[in-house]
Structure 1
Amino acid sequence: MGSTTIAALIIIAVHLLVCMTLCLLHHVGVLKVDGLLLPFMALIPLWGPLSVALMHSRAVLRGGRRIPAGLQELKVEDQEQRNILVDDRTDYANTVPLEEALIVDNPRQRRNLMLSILNENPGQYANLLSQARLNEDVEVVHYAATAMAQISAKEDIALQQRMEEYERNRDSDEALDRYREALEHYLESSMEQGYARTLQMRRYTDLLAERLKRHNDYRTVCSLAKTQMDLGSFDAASRTIEAALSAWPRQGDVWLMKLRLEAARHDGEAVQRTVRHIKDDHIYLGGRGHDILRFWLGDKEAGRA
């Protein structure tokens, strides 16, 4: 037997040993290649095992998965879409607006909704919770009253803090504005009723009057006149509006407040005079104001205004 034959046999033996080793690695899950390629590997000395090793390295670099080249772009786009956050809608089928839940004939749903409001932010539902206190369901009424008590307690604390801050710094415009805004929010949330609310509204008018002494602007005047009307002080509101018209004779918001006062007094003739003045002098009222003018004039005349 020649040396060439012996060398060939040794190479084949080494090749088979390498192939057996690679098959064993594939069997235990270490070699990440398709098993159908292993028989062909044994038929190609040297290049067969080397090709399998290269395919294994490629699979490892790609995360252990063999990805066809034509699908690579599709995989990337699919992964990007999977990364887009989507709201959890599993409970949307059971979600009902509070206004509808209060009248729907489903006590369990009403009560669950009220409990969820108590656990979240009852402050943003103050007006609806006030309505819920009149619901026929005793438990709903109890939950609504509890939520209103929570809101009232928080509002009371915030308002007390702003009032104390203003008492310590009466000359501060910032303290005045913070107290005024806190009181305005307090009144808008309808926390107080009866005499307590009237007392807070009078305090609010005092703050508005104080602000007018420091900074005379028509928005504050309109807020003061509105609050005076809500208190039933029509004469005081009339004086406030007349003073504002002297300062801002073409300010549409002031004219709208005058129109509101005359309507509240049930003075039809005064309403018509004010409407004619707004129309004839071409006072700019804006979109909402134009709708009010259209109501008093009628569609045809308002279109020519």
Structure 2
Amino acid sequence: MVNILIGYYILSAVYVMFSVRRGLRDFRYTLLLVACVPIFGLLLSLVQDAAARTKPNENDNRFTELMDVSEDQERIFQHVNVDKEVNLLPLEEALVVNDNVTRRRLLLDMLKEDMDERMIPLLERAVNNEDTETSHYAVTAIMEIKRKLLLTIQKWSVKYEDQKKNPQVLLEYAGAIKNYLSSGYMDKRTQMTYRLTYVSLLRELLQTEAASVMLYRELIENEKALERYDEALLSCEQFRKQYPMSEESYLAALDLYFTLKMKEPFYTTLNELKASKIRVSNRGLTIIRCWSVKGA
């Protein structure tokens, strides 16, 4: 029995090292499982890894980190407002102040300013503050921001009905919905409703002179969020046809294939990118190097 256990733990150690190298799962979880549940722990880990490889990847953070899409690229509808960006700093300071009275005063001063959806992540931290008054102010601020976002959506929705072919109106309307979706605090059904409208507007925009690489990226990302993978795949094909010399069209396809665990199309596209005459960015070069090694 002792020899069996020794053999088991040696085999388990090899498997844990393999998991760490391949990034199959959190190695701490695997280590805990195989250590605390002899024999069956390793079997359970193998079954879970096999099951994970048969479905779309729900947590593709590893590939997303390699993609390293900057916030500026993601905010394709937003204009930089220096005053609002500067206001984020006092809000952060307000949340780390130990004195409740000072924290409340700083937060109240911030509420008098023109706050927007970019402040919501910080306000969410304040919602969970141990001081109930601070929490109340934060909830009030979030609800006010969301009210303003909805009013903006309504304003552009009305203009859209009158000017459906106006690219600027389409951009503003789509941007308003994107901001609202980014604000969080909505149920799944509401989120899906707005996301479907957003996708529809993106498709319309791509038929105008406002069409761009980043609009295609937005479309594909939101089709993925809606789990409409067939639509996302079609959008990737259209993206490649419209922008055959764009690195982003290849990276969008790689991202989608990775999510869907489509190994053959993934490496086919990767090799096409390597063989193309596209001038690859540092981000693209990192992806090529990383996945060329993994595919070797």
Measured after TM superposition, the shift of residue 96 of structure 1 is: 7.2
Give the match for residue 7 of structure 2.
none
Residue aligning to 1:213: 207
SS at match of 1:126: helix
1:265 aligned onto 2:260: yes
Say which is worse superposed, 265-274 or 238-247, in terms of deviation.
Answer: 265-274
Aligned partner (choices 173, 189, 206) of residue 195 of structure 1: 189
Confirm or deny: 8 A CA contact 1:166 1:179 kept in the other structure: yes
Given candidates 252, 268, 274, the residue that maps to 2:269 is 274
| Alignment deviations for residues 19-68 of structure 1 (CA, whole Å, 9 cap, x no partner) | xxxxxxxxxxxxxxxxxxxxxxxxxxxxxxxxxxxxxxxxxxxxxxxxxx
Question: Is the 2:146–2:183 Cα contact (8 Å) retained in structure 1?
Answer: no
Tell me, in whole angstroms, the C-alpha distance in 1 between the residues paired with 2:227 and 2:260: 10
Q: Contact conserved, 2:220 with 2:235, CA < 8 A, in 1?
A: yes
Give deviations 1:84-142, integer Å, cap 9, x for gaps.
Answer: xxxxxxxxxxx976446535654344333322221223314122213332334322221
Among 148, 151, 161, the residue aligned to 2:155: 161
1:116 aligns with 2:109: yes
Q: Where do 5+ consecutive residues of structure 2 fail to align? A: 1-87
- Cα distance change, pair 168–116 in 1 and its aligned pair in 2 (3 A): same
Take 2:148 and 2:190, find their aligned partners in 1: how far apart are those partners?
A: 17
Normalising by structure 1, what TM-score? 0.59
Q: Which SS does the other structure have where 1:122 is aligned?
A: coil
Alignment partner of 2:243 out of 237, 242, 248 = 248
| Amino acid corresponding to residue 261 of structure 1 in structure 2 | L
How far has the Cα of 1:294 moved from its partner?
4.3
Query: What's the secondary structure of 1:214's corresponding residue?
Result: coil
Note the aligned Cα RMSD (angstroms). Answer: 2.9
The aligned counterpart of 1:236 is 231
Q: Structure 2 counterpart of 1:133, which letter?
A: V
In the TM superposition, residue 228 of structure 1 has moved relative to its aligned partner by 0.7
Shift of the alpha carbon at 1:241?
Answer: 0.4
Per-residue deviation, 1:292: 3.6
Aligned partners of 2:135 and 2:289: how far apart in 1? 42
Percent identity of equivalent pairs? 29
Runs of 4+ displaced beyond 4 Å: 95-101, 103-106
Q: Contact 2:90–2:106 at 8 Å: present in 1 too?
A: no
Mark the CA change 1:245 to 1:121 in structure 2 (over 3 Å): closer, same or farther. Answer: same
Deviates more, 1:221-230 or 1:130-139: 130-139
Whether the aligned pair in 1 keeps the contact of 2:149 and 2:180 (CA below 8 Å) is yes
SS class of match (2:206): helix
Cα contact 2:104–2:134 (8 A) shared by 1: yes
Larger radius of gyration: 1
- Deviations 1:262-303 (CA, angstroms, capped at 9, x unpaired): 22223445433333332232533424333444443469x9xx
Is structure 2 residue 135 aligned with structure 1 residue 170?
A: no
Change (3 A) 1:260 1:113: farther
CA distance in 2 between counterparts of 1:106 and 1:113 reads 11
Task: Work out the CA distance in 2 between the residues paired with 1:229 and 1:103.
Answer: 37
SS in 2 for 1:152: helix
- 3-state DSSP of counterpart to 1:213: coil
Structure 2 counterpart of 1:141: 135
Deviation of 1:188 (Å): 2.9
Matching residue of 1:74: none
Change (3 A) 1:289 1:105: farther
User: Which whole-Å CA distance do the structure 1 matches of 2:134 and 2:289 have between them?
Assistant: 42
Asked which structure has the greater RCO (Cα within 8 Å, sep 6+), the reply is 2
Distance 1:117 1:267, change over 3 A: farther
Q: TM-score of the superposition, structure 2-length normalised?
A: 0.60
Amino acid corresponding to residue 110 of structure 2 in structure 1: I
Paired residue type of 1:149: M
| Ranges in structure 1 where 5+ consecutive residues have no aligned partner | 1-94
